[in-house]
A = this chain, B = another copy of it.
Amino acid sequence: MESLDQQTITTSEVVQKATLAKQAAPRLSLLTTEQKNTALLLIADALIEETPSILTANAEDLHLGRKNGTSDSLLDRIALNEHRIAAMAEGLRQVVALPDPVGDILEQTTRPNGLNITKIRVPIGVIGIIYEARPNVTVDAAALCLKTGNAVVLRGGSAALSSNRRIVEVLHEALTRSDIPADSLQLIEDPDRSSVDQMLKLNGLLDVLIPRGGHSLIQNVVKNSTVPVIETGAGICHTYIDETADFQMALQIAINAKVQRPSVCNSMETMLVHERFAEQHLASIAEQFIANNVELRGNKQAQALFSAIKPASDEDWNTEYSDYILNIRIVSSLDEALQHIRLHGTQHSECIVTTNEANAERFLQEVDAAAVYHNASTRFTDGFEFGFGAEIGISTQKLHARGPMGLPALTSTKFRVLGNGQIRG
């Protein structure tokens, strides 16, 4: 005879915790904005108060990381300090200030038969987030999900496990003093990759999975998940400098798109330049890139115009460097630029710099991307810059949400149909 303990053991941590989250979800969907905001403020205060214990847990992760030879850049992403924890708390207060989309009426109609139909925003239910070893994502993701009335199952990179565990304990303690059921926030602690694999197949318990991180993490989720996924991330972004571009404007936009923060997805990887503009100005722009420590690679025409440009390989045009490296391709027409973007872009953010309105309009219409720009840096593709506030990521897929995802991206809809006895004839 199977004992209760044996039964419990056969159910994995992932299934157990996702089940608890699912059970909590209906209560969450009924909370008022005030109840949710109160909880978020309690969490913000608790993070500040518990800074010492969080730093202690963080030190364990860093110690273990150093012992295991973790890279400095990864250690830096894991590392917390008072300033970074204060920034997390500040992020929570910003989420409090955002409007709550739940309950928003999107459509309302009365049909000829008298049926009153209202389409309203509702929480999605249970959201799974799979991310890298970044303790700040633990707080961000939890806050955005709670504000939208969603339960959340977090699976962060194991290199930050101690930090995440302590942070979630602090959040749970704060939630017990609020109206939000603590079960609505779950952290998967199993560091084995199989816990990720399990999450990918949790149809019925998870309503959506959002991967946040590098290319391989995201592709693993996209390729293997049977739960619906919101794909985020990859950005091979282009800036096309047209024949009639203003030189100063083109220079500033190009430099900004590349060097203001090369590591992020909306930075430029390839600059396309019309040959007539290039003949006059490429050298001046290239010099500025060199002055900003950007390595330049390009096609033959580009190399012919500026000798420090190395040859670009076929692979280079398809690479998201996220680094101080830039491809430059001289093109003979807008059509060639459009074709290049079609072949090599990731439908993230694409820009044309031009004074020719007809060319601008063609670019804006024909380029298929989440954000298309005329005369502005692609670096603006961001929830804060678009006025949405904190974002859960930038969607690079076409379903549900595209581009920076504000709080509404974490909601679904429901039709409320009010009748007085209507039947279908």
Is the Cβ of B380 less than 8 Å from the Cβ of A26? Answer: no
Is the Cβ of A364 less than 8 Å from the Cβ of B203? Answer: no
Which of A178-186, A189-197, A293-301, A394-402 interfaces with chain B? A394-402
Cβ 8 A contact of A372, one of B228, B229, B385, B417: B417
Is the Cβ of B342 less than 8 Å from the Cβ of A418? Answer: no
Give Cα A126–Cα B387 distance, bound, in whole angstroms. Answer: 31
| Cβ–Cβ < 8 Å partners of A9 in chain B | none
Give Cα A377–Cα B115 distance, bound, in whole angstroms. Answer: 10
Contact with B along A365-396 (1 / 0, CB 8 A): 11011111111110111000111000000000
Asked whether A83 is an interface residue with its Cβ less than 8 Å from the other chain, the reply is no
Is the Cβ of A379 less than 8 Å from the Cβ of B111? Answer: no
Of the four ranges (under 10, 10 to 19, 20 to 34, 35 or more), the interface on chain A belongs to 35 or more
Identical chains bound together, number? 2
Chain B residue nearest to A119 in the complex (CB): B403
Is the Cβ of B373 less than 8 Å from the Cβ of A417? Answer: yes
Cβ 8 A contact of A397, one of B228, B253, B381, B416: B228
Is the Cβ of B228 less than 8 Å from the Cβ of A417? Answer: no
Is the Cβ of B256 less than 8 Å from the Cβ of A387? Answer: no
Which of A41-49, A61-69, A89-97, A407-415 interfaces with chain B? A407-415
Asked whether A125 is an interface residue with its Cβ less than 8 Å from the other chain, the reply is yes
Contact with B along A198-229 (1 / 0, CB 8 A): 00000100011000000000000011101011
Asked whether A252 is an interface residue with its Cβ less than 8 Å from the other chain, the reply is yes
**Chain A interfacial positions (CB closer than 8 Å to B):** 26, 29-30, 109, 111, 115, 117, 122, 124-125, 203, 207-208, 222-224, 226, 228-230, 246, 248-249, 252-253, 255-257, 260, 342, 364-366, 368-377, 379-381, 385-387, 397-400, 402-403, 412-424
